[in-house]
């Protein structure tokens, strides 16, 4: 187990986040490792950690070789947590076979040093940070609410015999002892029993977050993911933050577990073109938030095909609008997706990229004719304007105007009545009925708040259309609308 770096990394995350330690090989037959265990306790205390009774007991059942391995692993994890990343050099070279007599004194001195620094420390029995007292003679720390020494003959952690008349050590004896090796409070380590179950609880809570994850949370999520059902593609129904979703999907695409139907998963989970763009960004080592532009690396061919199929399966008006919303990034993405290659397999995706690129459509060649045929089948999304294909929806036209830097056209579109007037020489073509009906409905209500709602409530019901939480589009529309007033 110590040889598995992935598992060790996961244990490191679990130790930091929920203070659990997993002891493999605990058995009733081991034991007899009292001094060696004491040495481990002293080393961990020197790194600010104390053991719960269950963890102490589990470590106490290990045979010497196993305990030595657990010692190296645990001290290494604690060092990593402190950020020291130093290689652990045992103070006693032949450890654990020789343990110095002064281990006891070392442990007690360290406990005193921590207590003198801060009397409130976690009680190893209840885990609460309270005024704790060191049991005599072992210096295990308990609070008076949990244990007052009167009813028992032994320490509740190590069961060493105590003097019932004087069950606690007095730190005052430690004057002149070493300073605490680090600032308190101590951290109580507990015995974990199921790495996968603990990792699953953590991963599920991170996936359920409604705000973007911190870099540390993102790293932890990816480290724990392989231990969890989510790491086998069994994702929760909803992952509210789209950046988080992109990150998890990228991890699954990169190291697809055996039998995971990647294409089906992507088709279910990538519900907007921007989702596809986020995934491509993460797979290219870039930013899922799409804030920092970064170059895309070409996906392997099966994945490229899957992503084009996902785009092709999205409702075409949304596809066109979304692609126009991130024009620069999509133009770069197109260089690695090659949407015009084998366009017959994904005609709607090819159509959206033709709108984005302003591709000249030549009905005399097969590709042009195919584009025009697809365009004719989607009057709700696009319309043919001479040799170009343009977005048909109000939002799509607005996105294109913004993308092309045409502030006048964007402002006219965003202004009341803008959808029906002729815009900066841009010839309006007669639109089919359904679009005409849709246009007023799609215009954002006059709102001052920035909360975008463009695809919720105001859309006519579309059978099979995915539920789309709003994104930044309306904010931009507000800005465009504000331009004439401000200038
Ligand atoms: Zn307590
Ligand atoms: Zn004890």
Backbone angles phi, psi at 377, to 5 degrees: -80, -10
Residue 289: both structure tokens together: 């938030």
Asked if residue 423 lies in contact with residue 409, where contact means CB atoms within 8 angstroms, the answer is: yes
18-32, 314-328, 343-357: segment of lowest average pLDDT: 18-32
Residues 149-201 pLDDT 10s: 777 788 999 988 887 778 888 865 445 555 677 777 899 999 999 999 999 99
pLDDT at 461: 37
Domain-located, residue 231: no
61-65, 80-84, 474-478: segment of lowest average pLDDT: 474-478
Q: Would you put residue 32 in left (φ > 0), alpha (ψ -120 to 50) or beta?
A: left
pLDDT at 402: 81
Ligand 1 mean position, distance from CA 191 (Å):
17
Cα separation, 443 vs 244, in Å, equals 30
**Mean pLDDT: which of 363-372, 392-401, 456-465 is highest?**
363-372
Domain-located, residue 263: no
Ligand 2 mean position, distance from CA 138 (Å):
5
Domain-located, residue 346: no
Mean residue pLDDT of the chain comes to 81
Residues 300-318 pLDDT 10s: 999 999 999 999 999 999 9
Domain-located, residue 54: yes
Ligand 2 mean position, distance from CA 26 (Å):
20
Ligand 2 mean position, distance from CA 65 (Å):
23
For residue 94, count other CB atoms closer than 10 A to its CB: 8
Query: How would residue 395 be classed by pLDDT, with cut points 50, 70 and 90?
Result: confident
Residues 217-231 pLDDT 10s: 999 999 999 999 999
Domain-located, residue 425: no
Residue 380: both structure tokens together: 């709700």
- Can you tell me the mean pLDDT for 103-115? 87
Q: Would you put residue 462 in left (φ > 0), alpha (ψ -120 to 50) or beta?
A: beta
pLDDT at 163: 78
In the predicted model, is pLDDT for residue 5 greater than 90? Answer: no
Ligand 2 mean position, distance from CA 71 (Å):
19
Question: Which ligand gives the minimal distance to the CA of 135?
Answer: 2
Ligand 2 mean position, distance from CA 83 (Å):
29
For residue 422, count other CB atoms closer than 10 A to its CB: 9
> In total, how many domains does the chain have?
1
Question: Which ligand gives the minimal distance to the CA of 128?
Answer: 1
Question: Which ligand gives the minimal distance to the CA of 157?
Answer: 2
Asked if residue 374 lies in contact with residue 350, where contact means CB atoms within 8 angstroms, the answer is: yes
* ipTM greater than cut 0.95: yes
Asked if residue 245 lies in contact with residue 269, where contact means CB atoms within 8 angstroms, the answer is: yes
Query: How would residue 113 be classed by pLDDT, with cut points 50, 70 and 90?
Result: confident
Task: Dihedral sign for Cα 334, 336, 245, 461, please.
Answer: positive
Q: Taking the mean position of all CA atoms in its chain, how far away is CA 406?
A: 38
Ligand 1 mean position, distance from CA 36 (Å):
26
Cα separation, 400 vs 320, in Å, equals 10
Task: Dihedral sign for Cα 15, 17, 19, 22, please.
Answer: negative
DSSP track, 358-375: TPPP-TTSHHHHHHHHHH
Domain-located, residue 19: yes
Question: Which ligand gives the minimal distance to the CA of 188?
Answer: 1
In the predicted model, is pLDDT for residue 441 greater than 70? Answer: no
Q: Report, in angstroms and rounded to the nearest whole number, the Rg of the chain calculated over CA atoms.
A: 32
Ligand 2 mean position, distance from CA 162 (Å):
9
Residue 234: both structure tokens together: 């069994």
Question: Which ligand gives the minimal distance to the CA of 143?
Answer: 1
Cα separation, 344 vs 94, in Å, equals 72
Ligand 2 mean position, distance from CA 130 (Å):
18
Ligand 1 mean position, distance from CA 341 (Å):
69
Ligand 1 mean position, distance from CA 17 (Å):
21
Ligand 2 mean position, distance from CA 50 (Å):
12
Domain that holds residue 187: 5-192
In the predicted model, is pLDDT for residue 2 greater than 60? Answer: no
Question: Which ligand gives the minimal distance to the CA of 162?
Answer: 2
Ligand 2 mean position, distance from CA 123 (Å):
12
Q: Which residues contact 397 (CB under 8 A, 6 or more apart)?
A: 390, 391, 413
Domain-located, residue 161: yes
Domain-located, residue 246: no
pLDDT at 306: 96
Q: Taking the mean position of all CA atoms in its chain, how far away is CA 300?
A: 24
Q: Would you put residue 360 in left (φ > 0), alpha (ψ -120 to 50) or beta?
A: beta
Query: How would residue 34 be classed by pLDDT, with cut points 50, 70 and 90?
Result: confident
Ligand 1 mean position, distance from CA 10 (Å):
29
């Amino acid at each position: 187990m110590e040889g598995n770096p992935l598992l060790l990394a996961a244990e490191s995350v679990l130790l930091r986040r929920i203070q659990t330690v997993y002891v493999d090989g605990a058995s009733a037959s081991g034991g007899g490792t009292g001094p060696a265990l004491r040495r481990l306790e002293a080393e961990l205390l020197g790194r600010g950690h104390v053991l719960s009774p269950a963890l102490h007991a589990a470590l106490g059942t290990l045979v010497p070789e196993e305990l030595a391995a657990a010692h190296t692993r645990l001290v290494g994890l604690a060092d990593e947590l402190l950020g020291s990343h130093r290689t652990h050099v045992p103070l006693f070279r032949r450890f654990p076979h020789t343990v110095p007599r002064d281990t006891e004194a070392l442990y007690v001195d360290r406990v005193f040093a921590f207590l003198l620094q801060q009397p409130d420390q976690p009680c190893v029995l209840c885990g609460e940070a309270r005024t704790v007292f060191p049991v005599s003679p072992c210096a295990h720390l308990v609070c008076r609410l949990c244990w007052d020494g009167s009813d028992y003959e032994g320490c509740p952690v190590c069961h060493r015999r105590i003097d019932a008349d004087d069950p606690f050590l007095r730190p005052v004896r430690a004057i002149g002892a070493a300073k605490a090796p680090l600032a308190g409070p101590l951290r109580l380590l507990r015995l974990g029993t199921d790495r996968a179950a603990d990792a699953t609880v953590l991963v599920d809570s991170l996936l359920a977050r409604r705000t973007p994850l911190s870099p540390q949370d993102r790293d932890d999520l990816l480290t724990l993911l392989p231990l969890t059902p989510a790491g086998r593609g069994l994702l929760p129904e909803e992952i509210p933050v789209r950046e988080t979703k992109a990150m998890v999907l990228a991890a699954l695409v990169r190291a697809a577990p055996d039998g995971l139907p990647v294409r089906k998963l992507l088709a279910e989970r990538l519900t907007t073109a921007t989702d596809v763009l986020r995934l491509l960004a993460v797979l290219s080592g870039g930013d899922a938030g799409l804030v920092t532009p970064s170059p895309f690396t070409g996906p392997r061919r099966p994945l490229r095909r899957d992503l084009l199929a996902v785009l092709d399966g999205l409702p075409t008006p949304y596809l066109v609008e979304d692609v126009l919303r991130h024009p620069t990034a999509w133009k770069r993405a197109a260089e690695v997706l090659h949407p015009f290659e084998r366009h017959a397999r994904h005609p709607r995706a090819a159509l959206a990229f033709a709108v984005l690129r302003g591709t000249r459509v030549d009905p005399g060649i097969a590709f042009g004719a195919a584009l025009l045929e697809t365009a004719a089948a989607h009057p709700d999304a696009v319309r043919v304007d001479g040799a170009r294909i343009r977005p048909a929806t109000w939002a799509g036209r607005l996105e294109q105007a913004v993308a092309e830097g045409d502030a006048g056209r964007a402002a006219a579109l965003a202004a009341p009545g803008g959808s029906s007037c002729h815009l900066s020489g841009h010839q309006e073509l007669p639109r089919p009925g359904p679009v005409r009906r849709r246009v007023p409905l799609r215009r954002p209500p006059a709102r001052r708040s920035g909360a975008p709602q463009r695809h919720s409530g105001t859309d006519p019901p579309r059978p099979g259309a995915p539920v789309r939480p709003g994104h930044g589009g309306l904010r931009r529309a507000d800005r465009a609308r504000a331009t004439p007033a401000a200038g």
